[in-house]
C-alpha cells in the first residue's frame, strides 16, 4: 500500500502517506548523514580495490544495505518526522545491527519486545504509532497491537511477505510447511505463524542438514514419535504429529539462508517422499517454491566471486545476530582465515582481533591475525550493515598497517 501505514482499532482513521517528496527528501538527508561513506562509494566506483603501500583491500561487489533494509529504515525515520507529537514504538529490532538500532532508539522510538524492551503492549494507547520491522512479526503480536487501537507502520520486506503467501497456500491445501531456518529468529517466527493458515495448518522448522536427514528418515521409516517431538521442541506447530503431518509437505525458508543449503533440504525431503510414496505421488505430496531473498543471494554470489581472488584473510562486518551475515562468514571460513567483526573497534591491534566464533556462538580473541608483510584483505558485509561501518573498518585496517586516514582518502 502506498501509505505504508495500516489503520487499526475500532474507529476509521485517515491513512497517512509517509512517502511524500518533502518527507523523503528530509529522511534521505538524515539517513545519509548517519550511514553513507564517501570512501566506500569511491572505492566501489573504481572497481572495489584500494591499494596503499603494501596493503590491498578488495571489497565484494555486493555488500551492505539491501533495498528492503533501506526501505525499513527510511519508513522509521519518516514516521518520526510525520508523527512528531505521537509516541512511537517498534516490535523488536528494525534490523540486526546494533548501531542502526541505537540510531532508531535515539529518535525516541521505544522497543516493545526482546532483551532491550522499553515498554509493554499493555502500555499502548490508540494515538500511538507502532513500527513493524523488516522481518515482520507474528500474527498474535500484530493482533494485540491492533486491539490497542494503534496505527501500524509496516516495514516488512516484500521477500518475506512472498514466503508468507507460500506457506498460507500450503496451509489452505493441508500441506505441512517444512521451514528451513532458525526457529528463534523473528522472521521464522513470523512465517511460522502464517503457516498455521486458518488454524488448521502445521509447520516444522529444520536448521541443519542433519535435522533434515532425521526428518527424512522418519518420513521413510517412521520412528519414535516422542523422540521426534523432543528433538524439535519449540520448532513445530501446536498439535503437530509427525505420523500425520509429514504425509504431505512443502518446503519454504527463512529468506536469509544459504541458497545451496535450502536447495539441498528441498532435494532430500523430495527424495524421502519419493522413496515412501513412489514417483507417481511425489508431486502430490511434495511442494517447493524458491523463496531465497534476491539481495541475500547477490551478496553470497559476490563473496563467492571474491573468494576466487588471492587473499590472505577476510573480514565480514555486521551484527552477530544477523543470519545473512553469519552465512557470509561461514562461506569465508571454508576458504581462508575469516574474522566476523561487529565494527572497527574489534580490530584491536596488529596482534589482536575480537571476532564472533560461529561454532562457540560467542565473541573470542585471536592473536597475530594480520600478516607482517604485504597483505591482501577482503571485506564484505551483510544486508543489515551500513557503509559507514565498513568505512570505519577499512580505515582502522589501514591504520594498523601504518597508513593514516588522510593518505587513504587521497588514494581513494
Residues recognised as catalytic: 187
Output Rg (C-alpha) for the chain, integer angstroms: 23
Q: Where are the alpha helices (DSSP H) in 51-205?
A: 67-82, 98-106, 139-147, 158-172, 186-194
Strands (E), 262-321: 286-288, 313-317
Helices 186-194, 139-147: axis angle to 10 degrees equals 80
Burial class (CB in 10 A: 0-12, 13-18, 19+), 280: exposed
Query: How many Å apart are CA 101 and CA 165, to the nearest integer?
Result: 28
* DSSP secondary structure letters along 344-386: GGG---SSEEEEEETTTTEEEEEES-S-SSSEEEEEEE-TT--
| Contact of 166 with 252, CB cutoff 8 Å | yes
Helices 186-194, 158-172: axis angle to 10 degrees equals 30
Contacts of 221 (CB under 8 A, 6+ apart): none
Q: State how far the alpha carbon of 237 is from the alpha carbons of 193, 197, 202, 210, in Å.
A: 9, 11, 5, 20
Helix (H, G, I), strand (E, B) or coil at 57: strand
| Residue appearing with cell numbers 591475525 | 369
| Contact of 5 with 151, CB cutoff 8 Å | yes
Query: How many Å apart are CA 370 and CA 405, to the nearest integer?
Result: 19
| Contact of 220 with 272, CB cutoff 8 Å | yes
Amino acid at each position: 500500500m502506498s501509505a505504508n501505514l495500516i489503520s487499526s482499532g475500532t474507529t476509521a482513521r485517515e491513512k497517512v502517506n509517509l512517502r511524500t517528496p518533502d518527507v523523503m527528501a528530509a529522511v534521505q538527508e538524515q539517513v545519509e548523514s548517519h550511514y553513507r561513506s564517501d570512501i566506500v562509494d569511491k572505492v566501489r566506483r573504481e572497481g572495489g580495490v584500494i591499494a596503499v603501500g603494501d596493503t590491498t583491500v578488495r571489497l565484494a561487489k555486493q555488500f551492505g544495505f539491501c533495498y528492503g533494509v533501506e526501505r525499513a529504515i527510511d519508513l522509521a525515520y519518516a514516521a518520526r518526522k510525520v508523527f512528531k507529537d505521537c509516541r512511537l514504538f517498534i516490535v523488536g529490532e528494525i534490523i540486526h545491527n546494533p548501531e542502526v538500532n541505537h540510531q532508531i532508539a535515539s529518535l525516541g522510538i521505544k522497543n516493545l519486545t526482546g532483551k532491550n524492551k522499553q515498554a509493554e503492549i499493555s502500555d499502548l494507547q490508540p494515538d500511538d504509532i507502532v513500527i513493524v520491522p523488516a522481518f515482520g512479526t507474528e500474527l498474535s503480536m500484530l493482533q494485540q497491537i491492533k486491539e490497542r487501537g494503534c496505527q501500524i507502520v509496516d516495514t516488512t520486506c516484500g521477500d518475506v511477505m512472498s514466503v508468507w503467501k507460500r506457506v498460507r497456500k500450503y496451509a489452505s491445501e493441508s500441506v505441512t510447511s517444512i521451514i528451513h531456518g532458525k526457529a528463534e529468529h523473528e522472521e521464522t517466527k513470523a512465517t511460522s505463524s502464517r503457516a498455521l493458515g486458518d488454524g488448521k495448518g502445521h509447520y516444522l522448522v529444520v536448521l541443519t542438514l542433519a535435522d533434515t536427514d532425521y526428518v527424512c528418515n522418519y518420513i521413510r521409516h517412521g520412528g519414535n514419535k516422542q523422540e521426534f517431538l523432543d528433538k524439535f521442541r519449540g520448532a513445530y506447530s501446536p498439535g503437530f504429529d509427525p505420523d500425520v503431518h509429514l504425509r504431505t509437505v512443502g518446503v519454504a525458508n527463512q529468506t536469509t539462508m544459504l541458497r545451496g543449503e535450502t536447495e539441498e533440504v528441498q532435494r532430500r525431503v523430495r527424495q524421502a517422499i519419493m522413496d515412501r510414496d513412489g514417483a507417481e505421488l511425489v508431486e502430490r505430496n511434495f511442494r517447493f517454491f524458491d523463496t531465497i531473498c534476491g539481495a541475500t543471494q547477490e551478496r553470497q554470489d559476490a563473496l563467492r566471486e571474491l573468494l576466487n581472488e588471492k587473499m590472505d584473510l577476510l573480514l565480514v562486518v555486521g551484527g552477530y545476530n544477523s543470519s545473512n551475515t553469519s552465512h557470509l562468514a561461514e562461506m569465508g571460513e571454508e576458504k581462508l582465515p575469516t574474522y566476523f567483526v561487529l565494527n572497527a573497534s574489534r580490530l584491536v591491534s596488529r596482534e589482536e582481533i575480537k571476532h564472533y566464533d560461529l561454532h562457540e556462538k560467542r565473541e573470542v580473541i585471536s592473536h597475530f591475525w594480520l600478516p607482517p608483510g604485504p597483505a591482501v584483505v577482503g571485506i564484505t558485509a551483510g544486508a543489515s550493515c551500513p557503509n559507514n561501518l565498513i568505512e570505519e573498518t577499512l580505515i582502522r585496517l589501514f591504520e594498523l598497517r601504518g597508513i593514516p586516514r588522510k593518505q587513504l582518502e587521497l588514494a581513494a
